């Protein structure tokens, strides 16, 4: 019997799709604000690719307020009236900005008449667009992208310099992609791709090859944008918000890499069907594509002889060598009862190393998890096997007393908790070799804080700031010291406030500094990707998918 996640995907693939796209590109603003070079190039190129992928595509260059309003309403109506499974793609590129008085995001139409504060009155609310796309299309699966927030825009008569959009939240059935992180600009071009914005260029590259899932396509596009802008200051880091149970394959490939239907399989025989699947591997899947093992696992082994089953399992092992029991819940899927999570698929730090260097690690809540303060009624302790097994569970926005504006509740954890080690020895955890579990610098930088609360702050050379809490620092660590990526900082401990006042874990936070203020970002996906670089690809689970974890902990 298939699990819920696989069943949902198969059901979605059996329903015919109706694909609808709207692309708006604003280049010329009548001299009121600076023109842009590439919006129309971007939407024309993306539209050409989407049409090949069976999208009914509308392109709207240099759109006025009325043009934009009309086009969005027509797009929404098409999705609502579509037969089968509606799949939408909305792309806006042009100027956009945040009103600093209200932290409201706006898209700027081409018929504005002022570059002063009244520009907000003549612009289109981004949140209103998201609400409209979501409210009337609950059955649609949509990718919605905003490639805006250009750095060459000022508001006349004010000292406000727009630096990017304010954070927002995911909507049902929708994947929302921002070209840059909250509070950061997005560029109109890059040295490697002067005719397209970095995000448009990265997406166009990604659409050239089949992709098993929108998350893979967009994650690779985000990493490509970072690569394209790594010599700019600041580096452009796209921001991704994902609603659960959205499944979109923009480029499905032809032929499909899925197992042939029963009729085709009967003609060839079960063994022939199996061989056909394996033969498609090199041409249909990239090395980083995690979907192939899942496809093979869905094959009906009851159709094979005993010898064929053995051969099939050998082939599966070759394309899925492991480690890898590593699995992780999608970002924002908190432990039930611990709050409302942030559906943020963005890898905000794609160049880091994992902070634990010599042991497997487990991201989960030390407060709401086994043995935590809110788990006392269950009679479990901090060394319960559930805390030392996959899958990982995001705990960035779990309900805490700390103010954090990006979390749906306005409060949250500010970072995530990580456990590692085989057993405790004194005030540190040790690994399988009886060595202390080592915690290292995730990137090169300078130690700016070192307190008796066992708080260590690392200001990275990237401009990011990392805060390590509940770690036992090495004696040689000092404030002001420059550290290299991967350098030993301390050990996994239970220290807090100078003594053993917490569970054995590492709490790690990621912040970006904008205008002298620290803004919290979820480190969850950055940690996932860094861990995968060490141990190999993992598998992301959605809520409702269960896995029996095998603990590595020994008392």
Summarised one tens digit per residue, pLDDT across range 326-345 is 899 999 999 988 988 988 88
Domain boundary among 271, 288, 319: 319
Q: What is the CATH number of the domain that holds 71?
A: 3.40.50.1460
Which is higher by pLDDT, 439 or 170? 439
Which is higher by pLDDT, 477 or 293? 477
Residues 372 and 517 placed together within one structural domain of the fold = yes
Residues 27 and 139 placed together within one structural domain of the fold = yes
Compute the average pLDDT of residues 281-305: 41
φ/ψ of 402, rounded to 5, equals: -80, 130
How far apart, in whole angstroms, are the C-alpha atoms of residue 117 and residue 228?
A: 33
Of residues 520, 538, 518, the one with CA closest to residue 529 = 538
Residues 487 and 534 placed together within one structural domain of the fold = yes
For residue 268, pLDDT beyond 70: no
Residues 313 and 331 placed together within one structural domain of the fold = no
Summarised one tens digit per residue, pLDDT across range 296-320 is 444 445 545 566 556 555 555 544 4
Which is higher by pLDDT, 162 or 184? 184
Give the domain range for residue 286. Answer: 262-319
Summarised one tens digit per residue, pLDDT across range 165-208 is 988 877 878 889 999 988 889 999 998 889 999 999 999 999 98
Residues 141 and 287 placed together within one structural domain of the fold = no
Q: CB count, 10 Å around CB of 50?
A: 23
Residues 173 and 221 placed together within one structural domain of the fold = yes
Share of the chain above pLDDT 70, in %: 79
Q: CB count, 10 Å around CB of 109?
A: 22
For residue 475, pLDDT beyond 60: yes
- Write out the two tokens for 553: 């902990």
φ/ψ of 419, rounded to 5, equals: -115, 155
The pLDDT score that the predictor gives to residue 454 is 79
How far apart, in whole angstroms, are the C-alpha atoms of residue 17 and residue 161?
A: 43
Residues 232 and 266 placed together within one structural domain of the fold = no
The pLDDT score that the predictor gives to residue 10 is 43
Band of the pLDDT at 101, cuts 50, 70, 90? Answer: confident
In a domain, 255, yes or no: no
Residues linked to residue 24 through DSSP beta bridges, in sequence order: 60, 92
Give Cα separations from 417 to 197, 213, 472 (angstroms). 36, 28, 15
How far apart, in whole angstroms, are the C-alpha atoms of residue 104 and residue 106?
A: 7
In this structure, are residues 362 and 420 in contact, taking their beta carbons and an 8 Å threshold?
A: yes
The pLDDT score that the predictor gives to residue 504 is 94
Residues 151 and 269 placed together within one structural domain of the fold = no
In a domain, 257, yes or no: no
Residues 189 and 276 placed together within one structural domain of the fold = no
| Residue 146, Ramachandran bin (φ over 0: left; ψ between -120 and 50: alpha; else beta) | beta
- Write out the two tokens for 101: 């008085």
Residues 227 and 162 placed together within one structural domain of the fold = yes
Residues 512 and 387 placed together within one structural domain of the fold = yes
In a domain, 210, yes or no: yes
Of residues 541, 549, 545, 457, the one with CA closest to residue 507 = 457
Highest average pLDDT, of 103-107, 229-233, 259-263, comes from 103-107
For residue 121, pLDDT beyond 50: yes
Residues 388 and 525 placed together within one structural domain of the fold = yes
Secondary element (H or E) of residue 106: strand 104-107
Alpha helices, H only, 410-492: none
Domain boundary among 242, 276, 306: 242
């Amino acid at each position: 019997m298939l699990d819920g996640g696989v069943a949902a995907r198969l059901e979605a693939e059996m329903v015919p799709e109706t694909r609808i796209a709207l692309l708006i590109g604003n280049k010329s603003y009548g001299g009121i604000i600076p023109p842009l070079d590439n919006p129309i190039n971007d939407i024309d190129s993306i539209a050409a690719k989407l049409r090949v992928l069976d999208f009914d595509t509308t392109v709207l260059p240099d759109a006025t307020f009325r043009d934009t309003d009309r086009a969005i309403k027509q797009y929404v109506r098409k999705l609502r009236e579509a037969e089968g499974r509606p799949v939408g793609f909305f792309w806006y590129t042009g100027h956009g900005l945040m009103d600093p008085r209200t932290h409201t995001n706006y898209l700027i139409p081409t018929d504005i008449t002022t570059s002063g504060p009244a520009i907000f009155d003549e612009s289109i609310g981004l949140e209103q667009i998201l609400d409209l796309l979501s409210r009337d299309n609950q059955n649609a699966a949509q990718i919605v992208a905003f490639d805006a927030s250009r750095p060459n825009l000022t508001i006349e008569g004010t000292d406000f310099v727009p630096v990017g959009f304010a954070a927002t939240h995911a909507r049902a059935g929708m994947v929302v992609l921002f070209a840059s992180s909250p509070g950061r600009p997005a560029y109109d071009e890059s040295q490697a791709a002067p005719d397209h914005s970095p995000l448009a260029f990265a997406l166009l590259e990604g659409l050239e090859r089949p992709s098993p899932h929108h998350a893979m396509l967009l994650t690779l596009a985000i990493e490509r944008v970072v690569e394209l802008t790594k010599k700019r200051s600041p580096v452009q880091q796209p921001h991704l918000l994902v609603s659960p149970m959205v499944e979109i394959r923009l480029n499905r490939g032809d032929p499909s890499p899925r197992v042939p239907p029963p009729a085709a399989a009967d003609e060839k025989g079960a063994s022939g069907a199996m061989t056909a699947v394996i033969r498609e591997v090199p041409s249909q899947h990239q090395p980083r594509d995690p979907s192939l093992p899942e496809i093979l696992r869905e094959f009906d082994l009851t159709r094979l002889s005993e010898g064929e089953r053995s051969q099939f399992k050998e082939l599966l092992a070759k394309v899925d060598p492991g480690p890898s029991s590593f699995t992780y819940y999608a970002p924002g899927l908190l432990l039930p009862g611990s709050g409302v999570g942030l559906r943020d698929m963005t890898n905000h730090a794609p160049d880091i190393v994992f902070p634990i260097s010599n042991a497997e690690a487990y991201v989960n809540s030390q407060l709401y998890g086994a043995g935590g303060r809110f788990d006392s009624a269950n009679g479990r302790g901090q060394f319960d096997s559930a805390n030392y097994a996959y899958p990982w569970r995001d705990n960035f926005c779990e309900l805490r007393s700390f103010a954090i504006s990006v979390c749906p509740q306005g409060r949250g954890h500010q970072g995530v908790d990580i456990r590692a080690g085989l057993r405790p020895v004194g005030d540190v955890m040790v690994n399988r070799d009886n060595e202390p579990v080592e915690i290292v610098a995730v990137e090169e930088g300078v130690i700016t804080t070192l307190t008796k609360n066992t708080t260590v702050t690392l200001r990275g050379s990237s401009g990011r700031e990392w805060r390590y809490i509940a770690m036992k620092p090495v004696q040689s660590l000092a404030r002001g010291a420059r550290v290299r990526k991967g350098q030993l900082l301390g050990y996994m401990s239970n220290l807090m406030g100078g003594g053993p006042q917490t569970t054995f874990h590492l709490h790690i936070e990621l912040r970006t500094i904008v205008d002298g203020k620290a803004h919290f970002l979820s480190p969850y996906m950055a940690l996932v990707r860094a861990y995968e670089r060490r141990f190999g690809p993992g598998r992301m689970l959605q809520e409702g998918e269960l896995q029996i974890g095998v603990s590595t902990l020994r008392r």
